[in-house]
Amino acid sequence: MQDITIWHNPKCSKSREAMAILEQNGCEVEVVKYLDSAPSKDEIITALTMLGMNPKELMRTKEDIYKELNLKDEYDYDKLVDAMVQNPKLIERPIIFKGNRAIIGRPSEIIEKFLKS
Residues forming the active site: 12
Query: Cβ distance 92 to 60 under 8 Å?
Result: yes
Closest by CA position to 94, among listed 8, 5, 1: 8
Query: Cβ distance 94 to 7 under 8 Å?
Result: yes
